[in-house]
Amino acid sequence: MNTTRRRDFLGGAAALAALPLSARAQAGPTRILVGSSPGGGQDMVARMVAEKLNGGPIGAVIVDNKPGASGMIAADLLAKAPADGTTLMSATQTAYAVAPQLYKNVGFDAQRDVTGVAMLGFNPFVLVVHPSFEAKTLQELLDLARAKPGTLNYGSGGVGSAPHMVVELLQLNAGIKLVHVPYRGEAPAVADVLARQIALTFNNVAVVAGHVKSGALRALAVTSPKRLELLPDVPTMAEAGVPDVEVETWFALTAPKATPRDIVRGLNAEVVKALAAPDLMKGYDELAIRPAGGSPDIVDAMIKSEVARWSEVIQRAVVKLATH
């Protein structure tokens, strides 16, 4: 881009950023990046929120899936996007707190490159197997894993994904060794459990609850501190004999770091309003998603605390990614 064109582009972006949300909406749709394939929990939450925002003061809102590299592809796109509020990202701890610590030559740093807009929600994980799998309880699964170390395989949404890190916690606390099979998103991992290609997966309740209720999958435990109303017969990890594996995926809407605070505040107000809508709350309840909201600062604080938490797990488990 030559100097004149670059100056025109930057001037146009600055002018757009200075406009209120209602005026900016005329410039084109707001894009919400999702760093996973369609059908995963991150994607489902982004689409529910986008549907409520679409057509309001923000204007048209679309979801843009950019899976790969544990969400880092989408995160990098967000960091390099114009800081005018027209490109956002529905992020989880995977892309912001875990993957940057695993991938080599990463130029992305969430604490440096993004700013929070609003927390979208929290969703625990559930350990699922095919109904034909020989272990009927978590303890039976652990006994099997100990008897045949390094033979049972599990799927996740990729190296560094939240389901992957949950299993790392399980292995540390239960003294077992499983074989990791990473996928490009949560939904493909679930599909291979359904097809009996892999033994098990931890996944967001939002993704697998329907399969559990239909009997297509058997749930062995949930990672929430107490049992879920959606799956009342499924014990918690602590009840099933493995404490200290309480983990929830958090979903947060974020923007490029330099986005003006008035735009961030305006986006936050619209998202918080959307999260309070009865139909969205009903949809969340059906997927055991706990709504959040709150200020942009809450997102920034969450990212900071999660970087510290998962750094410790990565060091204890010696989690590595060979190449990037």
Please write the tens of the pLDDT for every residue from 188-240: 999 999 999 999 999 989 889 999 999 999 999 999 999 999 999 999 999 99
Task: Specify the domain boundaries for CATH 3.40.190.10 within the chain.
Answer: 124-222
Angle at 104 between CA 192 and CA 199, to 5 degrees: 15
Query: What confidence tens digit (pLDDT) does each residue in 109-122 have?
Result: 999 999 999 999 99
What count of Cα atoms within 13 Å lies in the side-chain half-sphere of residue 304? Answer: 9
Say what the pLDDT of residue 116 is.
Answer: 98
Q: pLDDT band at 1, cuts 50/70/90?
A: very low
Higher-pLDDT residue of 91, 322:
91
Average pLDDT of span 288-298: 92
> Is it the case that residue 29 has pLDDT exceeding 70?
yes
Say what the pLDDT of residue 2 is.
Answer: 43
Q: pLDDT band at 313, cuts 50/70/90?
A: confident
315: exposed, middle or buried (Cβ count in 10 Å: 0-12, 13-18, 19+): exposed
Q: pLDDT band at 23, cuts 50/70/90?
A: low
Query: What confidence tens digit (pLDDT) does each residue in 46-71 have?
Result: 999 999 999 999 999 999 999 988 88
pTM of the model: 0.81
Q: pLDDT band at 26, cuts 50/70/90?
A: low
The Cα–Cα gap between 75 and 98 comes to 12
Q: What's the N-to-C CA distance of the chain in angstroms?
A: 28
Q: pLDDT band at 99, cuts 50/70/90?
A: confident
Query: What confidence tens digit (pLDDT) does each residue in 134-164 have?
Result: 999 999 999 999 999 999 999 998 888 888 9
Reduced 3-state DSSP string for the chain: CCHHHHHHHHHHHHHHHCCCHHHHHHHCCEEEEECCCCCCHHHHHHHHHHHHHCCECCECEEEEECCCHHHHHHHHHHHHCCCCCCEEEEECHHHHHHHHHHCCCCCCCHHHHEEEEEEEEEEEEEEEECCCCCCCCHHHHHHHHHHCCCCCEEEECCCCCHHHHHHHHHHHHHCCCCEEEECCCHHHHHHHHHCCCCCEEEEEHHHHHHHHHHCCCEEEEECCCCCCCCCCCCCECCCCCCCCCCCEEEEEEEEECCCCHHHHHHHHHHHHHHHCCHHHHHHHHHCCCEEEECCHHHHHHHHHHHHHHHHHHHHHHCCCCCCC
Task: Specify the domain boundaries for CATH 3.40.190.150 within the chain.
Answer: 3-123+249-317
In CATH, 3-123+249-317 is 3.10.20.30: no
Write out the two tokens for 239. Answer: 């009840």
The fourth-level CATH superfamily of domain 124-222 is Periplasmic binding protein-like II (3.40.190.10)
Say what the pLDDT of residue 219 is.
Answer: 98
Say what the pLDDT of residue 6 is.
Answer: 35
